[in-house]
Structure 1
């Protein structure tokens, strides 16, 4: 706040006094409100933070420049229509009063100017016609301007979101500013909302000023004119002082009503399609219905309406009566004046003044009740650009991969030096003091039970996260020194939990090599290598199939859907379900597409066959091994197979630590964690001997670990 504001209004602004918290229970809601201390003057929240307005003005100017660049003529038309909409009520009131006065004079038998009557009628018709024409222009050009603004800022938001790394995206403050994944492009959008809010504020003020001027001019000859004008203006300020609107507070609402929460959970359980199969299979419908009825009975008449509705309902009767009486003060002034000087009043004048008074009161009340203060409005414009100004938490290096003095023809060298890592927001270490060296061209296998830290390693390879402690080196240089785009272009990471993209299967595969426009032959080769060719060929649209198409269709009908609508809805492309194994094959195909570009120097496959049968698993590993030339290859698995016997080095993880490393023979001879895991899986294929011992297929006894 400015020094002037601090000097003359020391008790108005909440930050001058610490607020007090007031807790209340309204229906199912527990409400905690922040009540500002000190003097509260009506309307002060509109100007509650002058510094905030000042800091946000550059963003407001930037927004206007962007909108002007999108359509200079459109913006001018939009502004002119907005200005007319603010003055039109006053102009219409003026000519309506002229028309009523002429009509009243003729009704009372006084001589009146016929030309004046005709002029008033013509002007009224012209104003109505012109307003309708302006509304038509406003609707037409406003739609175009809204479309351009919406797409412009949607593209900006997309660009800003795509640049963020994982730690930045997982920051709660950044999350709160990101558009929802379900955000519809058909919605108006935040940018348009900010512009329309600005228009409402400006036009409301212009409308208020014009109507106040009209009222002052109309009442200038009345004995109680100034008092009447003062009452019209004072009413909404008085109401704002005594009537505490919920949205004028900072408040937190929560629901701890166990019965309402249980009913909500049971409703989700009943209506959600993903639970339907289990409910039917388990015969749980009757149980759910019974539990819902019991919770409903316990809830009783406790209101579960929205908090805003319940807040309005609980307003005291005395406050309602006072508010109604204050709103009628102007009409009481008419009554007093009718006794003192009845000749100065006419029915037409009273009707127009009455209408004007109510319009002014509603206009002021609307401005005061508007929860978006000028500071918040400017903040809305700032939020439109805040994402583009946020920096990633992972700082970009300046070395382009590969470094000029390093030979990468055999593959990428990866070294972990005393690396520890904890995910953002957690204290538990997923990795603890891990050190190893993978030489160029080596085949490494990382093994361990679930939760041992295997997958966490992969997230450090391509720098999705930075280590909490220690250092990761690529080709003898710190990973953080490289430019991320070039480094990641030299890596292919195949994970077990890839999700199909909501585009065609062709694009799902081709996007693995985004800088290359893949041909049909290249895509077909990739899906053959990934093992997805057979299931894709069985689909009606084959590679053009979209597994999760964007569906914007909606049918509105009464009682029963018309047959023609049903046929049209049935024709809309529906989501296609695929198995976990097919999803892994599709992800593998994308990886093979990426490998075909010839730039990959590190291939990491994290549990790529967890949902595949043994034959498919063998074929997948063979295809991946065929791509080994010129690459360092890392396989991560908890299932032992032939792949471990061919590894140059095996890293055995346990509880986030690297407990063993070496070849298969070396680790088996050490009889440590790797040996234990190997023997546990080997027992599944062992044959029981006559004395109860487990023996392998070759007759050798297996170790009993009493697991």
Structure 2
């Protein structure tokens, strides 16, 4: 609601707090302020810092969640077969480099024999050539096999977690879903398409780490065997691997596990706000009608000029900041040249050993390069695995986040037939504030609506009318007081039963990114596929007439959830040969639409929402005893509003109806109870005749509206 102020609550114990200067390092990066949790004492030891101890400890703590993930994957059809086959192929693939290195050693032995004895073992040479060829073919076959085996694995894992994730998100109630902390967890765990494949990424990286370790150990053992007995072999190996060691010492560990960045630069905030304003169609009408674009352009240019190089997002600026010159890089190149220098000196001293030394140097250099690359991949993968393990933990933790609105255990109602006579609703000294808001939306509100009564809640916008309906639907629980439904505490009733017994239309209704048919049908999930009921509900909601005029009628999407994909050439531009780019022909044959949004008026949108509410009232078996309508005629013209009220009165029968509005219309004359609200309080209550006779605030506003029509 407008006018609410968000309170700033002190951080809970254990949470990351950027204001705690003792534990936080602050760095200014352009317009951004980076706050990093200071590393633990262990991490300040240079060697331990390189090893990134905290990430390994994090991996250890998340192992129970990884084990749970493996059990879930094991329950999937044929997953263990594909997993075992994939692991076997990976194992074979990790041993091939060592085998290839062994053949290189054999080739080195052939060179040694040729130098010493002036003869070549042709049989051994052929064996080595065939072996190296087989290694190359085996590498390609393993790569192809891994690709083929991973496809069904990825599909099954993605499908399994996609369904689990959908359930996790869909089951959350309003206050839990709106919590900023929960939203941040969603952004981290469920970001993009990776949200369904994070399990596969963990498996793949874990297998890669295992096979990479095997690959490194096997290569080192083979290399030691090959170089055994070679003159200066050990020295050349140490010199070649010294560069890898130097690179590892130079390696900068990643950012700490806990960090946050924010910007408070007014120019940058304004610049980004202007960019988003002109980039969507949401504000286009007001921009064009108000002639705002030149003013916006001038301010955007001014902000851009003032900020200069600092006008960028966090990651681009951080990448520039973290790429700094280091003096140690100046001595990196000489390490690379040391093996060649030693080789040259030995060649002068022992000219006859040049072919052998050159072959040894080439073999060691290639192996050292491969080893260095593999080792760095291993370190980077362990860091990525730590992050992925943490994501797995967050995934399973968020799957078990309890809803803040606790379910009751008493079935409702005891007798389903009693719903046809309505539901009694009573508020006893109810006070309520929306989460993280300081001002009360309701203050000490008390009233009672008997079974079958028509209650109209009137008052200005922001007075608390909508909040009463949300509390009755138990989207929230009051901070103080008690709500009774048919004489029982609303918190004790089963939520599913309670909500099944009512039909609700909120003022801030939304339309789902589905077809009109689905938008209406979901009003009654039990009959969401019944097209006859859907069409009947559309008639009651006043939407049938305009829906049937649409090209796709009830199959029309208000906004398609999946857009068409086009080539990179934009429509209206020209090709390199000057031919205009036009997609009309392709769209016509493919039955695609240029505009993927169906434009409807506010009144038409509201009629679809009304139809969804009426959908639930059509069920003869599933009785509805309480109808809640929050400003249902706000976007309707007077004729449509009158027709709606007449339909509501006829359909209500003996059911209880609560109707909120800021208009004093015809419905108030027929109300059994009127609650007049102002500033979160119920100021007056009674029938229309009683309130007019009392000559209070309700009567004054009624007369004001009446005079507007009569004058």
TM-score range (shorter-chain normalised) is 0.7 to 0.9
CA separation of 1:680/1:80 partners in 2, compared to 1, >3 Å: closer, same or farther? farther
Closer/same/farther in 2, CA of residues 328 and 590 from structure 1, 3 Å limit: farther
Contact persistence 1:43–1:368 (CA under 8 A): no
Partner of 1:112: 120
Structure 1 residue 124: deviation in Å?
1.5
Q: Which moved more, 1:34-43 or 1:178-187?
A: 178-187
Of 62, 72, 79, the residue aligned with 2:68 is 62
Deviations 1:515-569 (A, max 9, x none): 1255333222111110001110110011111111122432224574786755334
Q: Which ranges of structure 2 fall in alignment gaps of 5 or more residues?
A: 1-20
Does the aligned pair in 2 maintain the 1:246–1:311 contact within 8 Å? no
Shift of 1:609: 0.6
Shift of 1:153: 0.3
**Aligned mates of 1:181, 1:117 — CA distance in 2:** 55
Aligned match for 1:572, one of 592, 596, 604: 592
Question: Using a 3 Å threshold, how does the CA distance of structure 1 residues 181 and 100 change in structure 2: closer, same or farther?
Answer: closer
Long gaps (5+) in structure 1: 1-17, 688-707
* 413-422 vs 332-341, greater mean Cα deviation: 332-341
2:466: which partner in 1? 455
Cα distance, 1:242–1:249 mapped onto 2, change above 3 Å: farther
Q: Does 1:174 align with 2:182?
A: yes
Matched, 1:614 2:638: yes
1:24 correspondence with 2:17 = no
1:349 pairs with 2:369: no
* Structure 2 counterpart of 1:702: none
The 1-side partners of 2:257 and 2:411 are apart by 53
- Structure 1's 336 and 634: CA in aligned 2 closer, same or farther, altered over 3 A? farther
Q: Give the CA deviation at 1:648.
A: 0.4
Q: 1:382 offset after TM fit, Å?
A: 2.0
| Conservation of the 8 A alpha-carbon contact between 2:189 and 2:394 | no
Deviation at 1:309, TM superposition (A): 2.5
Note if contact 1:100-1:348 (Cα within 8 Å) is conserved in structure 2. yes
Is 1:674 equivalent to 2:698 in the alignment? yes
Where does residue 219 of structure 2 map in the other structure?
Answer: 211
Q: Which residue of 2 aligns with 1:396?
A: 407
Distance 1:262 1:548, change over 3 A: same
> What is the alpha-carbon distance in structure 2 between the residues aligned to residue 338 and residue 383 of structure 1?
60
Alpha-carbon displacement from aligned partner over 1:439-467 (angstroms, at most 9, x marks no partner): 11011001110000000111111111111
Deviates more, 1:338-347 or 1:495-504: 338-347
Whether 1:39 and 2:50 are equivalent positions in the alignment is no
Q: Summarize deviations over 1:591-646 as a string: whole Å, max 9, x none.
A: 11110113101000000010001110111111111121241110100001111111
Alpha-carbon distance change, 174 to 284 in structure 1, aligned in 2, over 3 angstroms: closer
Q: Does 2:559 match 1:548?
A: yes
Q: In the aligned structure 1, how far is the partner of 2:372 from the partner of 2:536?
A: 73
Partner of 1:412: 423
* Distance (whole Å) between structure 1 residues aligned to residue 563 and residue 106 of structure 2: 52
The correspondence for 1:191, drawn from 186, 193, 199, is: 199
TM-score (norm 2): 0.86
Q: Quick check: 1:319 aligned with 2:328?
A: yes
Q: What is the SS of the residue equivalent to 1:147?
A: helix
CA contact (8 A) 2:457 2:675 kept: yes
Residues 425-504 of structure 1: pairs in structure 2 closer than 5 A: 425-504=436-515
Is the contact between residue 191 and residue 384 of structure 1 (CA under 8 Å) also seen in structure 2? no
Distance of 1:276 and 1:682 partners within structure 2: 37
Alignment partners' CA distance in 2, 1:89 and 1:401: 69
- TM-score normalised to the size of structure 1? 0.86
Superposed, 1:551-562 pairs within 5 Å as 551-557=562-568, 560=574
1:201 and 2:197 aligned: no
1:503–1:546 CA contact under 8 A, matched in 2: yes
The number of residues matched between the two structures is 669
- CA offsets 1:267-289 (integer angstroms, 9 cap, x no match): 33333232333333333333333
Alpha-carbon distance, 1:126 to partner: 1.3
Deviations, residues 315-336 of structure 1 (Å, cap 9, x unaligned): 33x1322444456666666566
Structure 2 residue 671 is matched with structure 1 residue 634:
no
- Whether the 8 Å CA contact 2:90–2:142 is kept in 1: the answer is no
CA contact (8 A) 1:248 1:371 kept: no
CA contact (8 A) 1:246 1:308 kept: no
Q: State the distance in 2 between where 1:501 and 1:513 align.
A: 14
SS in 2 for 1:548: coil
In structure 1, the partner of 2:541 is: 530
Q: Partners of 1:221 and 1:565 in 2: how far apart?
A: 71
Does structure 1 residue 283 correspond to structure 2 residue 287?
Answer: no
608-617 or 116-125, which moves further after superposition?
116-125
- The 5 Å alignment of 1:238-253 reads 238-247=246-255, 250-253=258-261
